């Protein structure tokens, strides 16, 4: 298993399950983690996405295509979707 794949699994198993809530700090943490999982070559317009991340989850395959840590990136996008739609997110809600 590559180092990148192992780190992707660790994000999924150890870090993301601890993130839950409904406030803006949860969104900020998820956006920062998403930037890490996408990799340095993909830039997010964080100011635009702070309020509405629907652009991410509408085109999830485009968003995570070629991500450094694709499984974690996909899960983070789903968590942001739950936050947008329900006002609350948790690792266990999707």
pLDDT on residue 63: 73
pLDDT of residue 24 exceeding 70: yes
Query: Does residue 93 form part of some domain?
Result: no
* Residue 7 within a domain: yes
Q: What is the mean pLDDT of residues 63-77?
A: 89
Residue 65 phi/psi, 5-degree rounding, is -60, 120
Between these two residues, 63 and 13, which has the higher pLDDT value?
13
Radius of gyration, alpha carbons of the chain: 12
- Indicate if the pLDDT at residue 56 is higher than 70: no
Assigned domain for 94 exists: no
Check: CB of residue 30 under 8 Å from CB of residue 83. yes
CA-nearest of 67, 68, 60 to 94 is: 60
Would you say residue 43 lies in a domain?
yes
The 10s digit of each residue's pLDDT in 77-92 is 899 889 988 999 999 9
Containing domain of residue 12, as a range?
A: 3-87
Query: Is 53 part of any domain?
Result: yes
pTM confidence score: 0.85
Predicted pLDDT of residue 42: 73
User: Looking at the 3D structure of the chain, how many domains does it have?
Assistant: 1
- Is the residue at 92 inside a domain? no
């Amino acid at each position: 298993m590559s180092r990148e794949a192992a780190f992707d699994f660790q994000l999924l198993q150890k870090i993301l399950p601890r993130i839950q809530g409904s406030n803006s700090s949860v969104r900020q943490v998820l956006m920062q983690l998403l930037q890490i999982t996408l990799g340095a070559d993909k830039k997010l317009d964080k100011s635009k996405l702070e309020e509405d991340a629907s652009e991410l989850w509408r085109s999830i395959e485009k968003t995570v295509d070629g991500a450094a840590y694709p499984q974690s990136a996909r899960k983070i996008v789903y968590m942001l979707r739950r936050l947008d739609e329900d006002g609350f997110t948790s690792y266990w809600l999707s």
